[in-house]
Amino acid sequence: MREEKRENLRESGWGTRGEARRSVQLVVVGGGLAGAAVIRNLPSPLRRPGATLLIDRNDSYTFAPLIHEVAVGRIHPGSVVSNVSALCRNRCDYLHSEVTELSPETRTLTTTSGPVGYERLVLATGSRAARPPADLVPHLQTFHTLDDALRLRSELNGAWWTALETDRRGDTVPGARTIVIVGGGATGVELSAEIAVLFDYLRKRSRREPAVAPRIVLVEAADRLMGWLDPFFHDAAMRQLFLLGVEVRLGTLVEEATSDSVRVGEEWLPAATKLWTAGIETVSPVSDLGIESDASGRVRVDDHLTLPGHPEVYMLGDASLYKDPGLGPLPPTGSLAVQQGAWVARDLDRWLRGAERRLPFRFSDRGYAVSLGPESAVAEVLGRKLEGAAAQALYRSVLLYFLKSRRDRVLTGADWAMERTIGRLGFERPRNRAAL
Ligand SMILES: Cc1cc2nc3c(=O)[nH]c(=O)nc-3n(C[C@H](O)[C@H](O)[C@H](O)COP(=O)(O)OP(=O)(O)OC[C@H]3O[C@@H](n4cnc5c(N)ncnc54)[C@H](O)[C@@H]3O)c2cc1C
């Protein structure tokens, strides 16, 4: 695979630092959900190396909607990671490089491998986790990447077994098994449900009850969870989180923290693990464009998903803010990113055919699903509201559909199927702690 990629770059001449500006018909920046949907649906004149160039700063892509399951050991990390360059096989050139600047006037991108010119550009650089306020940064972890998920997995495992050991010695550490999650969006809700189920699993597997029961506290500043979704999602999540023993604090701010505790409203809670899952923000070069954007830095695009005044520059996915005529500004979701990518490929086809009329992008709202642990979920699909095991089955099939490759689908499906027999990955009982 690596050899094939090198061959690709050598033939096309891309990727040499200091080289003079090379131009190409179409450049796609970002091989995530939106960028991959463009590449997969390219019209035939653009579907060849030499016509289209994909640039990504990472050669591997992590499917973020499943990382909370990696953090609790239900999915192997390798099952949600795919190779970006593989997207280009026989379809485009691939440049493993970071885009640092965009100059729409000269139609030039500055990359860490030199300048690249384009006729049409698709910017699909996604987002990163919004950082907490400066005072909280040293004490709260964000949750957006595979590294975040693996760090959390090892922290949860360490906290569980260390706390059992100290319980046994009688010197219980306050907050050792308390997890505070700040941000009651879909990520915070999914994560708290998963961690609650994980602790239940670990409790059943250890030979003794912990002296202090694990505690999961989900904190949300607004008065309901997942505020951008129908209130049915909030109601279903509140019911299920209550059953799982998660404490939900609504209308509550987190403004202070130390290394071992956090102030939730007026109360200081000792907590070993403190997570910040509130919001996203765009990354460079999108964040540096200085164009109208929302609080997350998502740049406002028009009906053709292009930059105002630059019909040749498309911006998709989490990087852009699209206002639907009926639904208003749409939140950053995988389903929006994929629909936008496929639509741009059709728009490029119309451009190549010299079509006179340019149709606007319209979002088809097929619904949304949020997992509430392995046995339950809440979903709304084509106007139908679902809760419980049926919603979980639907949630899993949607995610398998969105996963990029057949390999990832098979591996993730196998992880789910094997969970009962092989247990949780990364949460094995330590050998030297046989008495626990
Ligand atoms: C924890 C979590 C859970 C989620 N759960 C769900 C869910 O259940 N359902 C749902 O619909 N959505 C979910 N989402 C949102 C969904 O993952 C995003 O909306 C979607 O990935 C956005 O697609 P994108 O193509 O815009 O960006 P991404 O998929 O993030 O891809 C961006 C790509 O651009 C590349 N890139 C970035 N900057 C540069 C640069 N300067 N130069 C070159 N390359 C660059 C990156 O390496 C990356 O490959 C979740 C997100 C997170 C973080």
Is the CB of 146 within 6 Å of ligand 1? no
Whether the predicted model's global pTM rises above the 0.75 cut? yes
Helices (H), 211-331: 231-244
pLDDT at 27: 98
Is the CB of 334 within 6 Å of ligand 1? yes
DSSP per residue over 301-367, as a string?
--TTSEETTEEEEEE-GGGEE-EETTTEEPP--HHHHHHHHHHHHHHHHHHHTT-S--PPP-----E
* Per-domain boundaries in the chain: 2-129+280-365, 141-278+368-404
Is the CB of 33 within 6 Å of ligand 1? yes
| Distance from Cα 284 to the centre of ligand 1, integer Å | 14
Atom of ligand 1 nearest to the CA of 334: 11
pLDDT at 269: 95
Atom of ligand 1 nearest to the CA of 36: 25
pLDDT, tens digit, 9 for 90 and up, residues 153-173: 999 998 888 777 776 676 677
Distance (Å) of CA 312 to CA 35, 38, 124, 350? 16, 15, 14, 13
Going by CA atoms, what residue is nearest to atom 19 of ligand 1? Answer: 333
Is the CB of 184 within 6 Å of ligand 1? no
Q: Which fold has domain 141-278+368-404?
A: FAD/NAD(P)-binding domain (3.50.50)
Is the CB of 56 within 6 Å of ligand 1? yes
Is the CB of 99 within 6 Å of ligand 1? yes
- Contact criterion met (CB below 8 Å) for 222 and 234: no
Q: How many CB atoms are closer than 10 A to CB 435? A: 9
The burial class, CB within 10 Å (0-12 / 13-18 / 19+), for 106 is: exposed
Q: Which two tokens stand for residue 53?
A: 């160039």
pLDDT at 422: 77
* Residue 341 to residue 259: CA distance in whole angstroms: 42
One fold for both 2-129+280-365 and 141-278+368-404?
A: yes
Give me the residues paired with residue 315 across strands: 123
Please provide the size of the chain in residues. Answer: 436
Which homologous superfamily does the CATH classification assign to the domain defined by 2-129+280-365? FAD/NAD(P)-binding domain (3.50.50.60)
DSSP per residue over 139-179, as a string?
T-EE--SHHHHHHHHHHHHHHHHHHHHHHHHT-PPTTTTEE
| Distance from Cα 257 to the centre of ligand 1, integer Å | 29
Is the CB of 229 within 6 Å of ligand 1? no
Residues of the chain with pLDDT under 50: 1-18, 435
